[in-house]
Homo-oligomer: A and B are copies of this chain.
């Protein structure tokens, strides 16, 4: 998963606030999995809601930084997934960060409408406790009005 040349994020651990690195180096040193993907958490920037988690490859990251519209890589469709392309429920990028290990991204976004393909605001509606699973919310949009099949 990592190799000897990937030392940037280790070095940054002890750097001070404000320290800077080039975008090329930052992306070169991200830790992608064997499929060339890195997990990306999408969070509504103002309310703090965690909306969903999906995956990005390097080109999706670069496109997202350039366009400010979030683009993932769909593992099920094996293609770029420009969020909201069919539903209209786009994610506008507010900021992007990576974690201490350089193996996860956090995207702060402005989410239009439902983030979840079920029509719910976010994807984390299956609460799990020792008492079992319980659905915590209903859709805010009719998914059949968003698109014909599973795709957001």
Q: Chain A residues in contact with chain B, CB under 8 A?
A: 1, 9, 12-23, 25-27, 39, 41, 43, 47-50, 52-53, 61, 65-66, 75, 95-102, 104-106, 116-118, 120, 123-138
A59–chain B nearest beta-carbon distance, Å: 15
In the assembly, how many copies of this chain are there? 2
Q: A68 CB to closest chain B CB, in angstroms?
A: 10
Q: CA separation between A137 and B19, bound complex, in Å?
A: 10
The 21 listed contacts between A and B (C-beta, < 8 Å) are A1-B75, A12-B133, A12-B135, A17-B135, A19-B135, A20-B134, A22-B132, A25-B133, A41-B53, A43-B50, A65-B128, A96-B127, A96-B128, A97-B125, A97-B136, A98-B126, A98-B133, A99-B116, A100-B116, A100-B118, A100-B126
Tell me the complex Cα distance, A46–B123, Å.
19
Please name all residues of chain B whose beta carbon is closer than 8 Å to the beta carbon of A15 when the two chains form the complex. 135
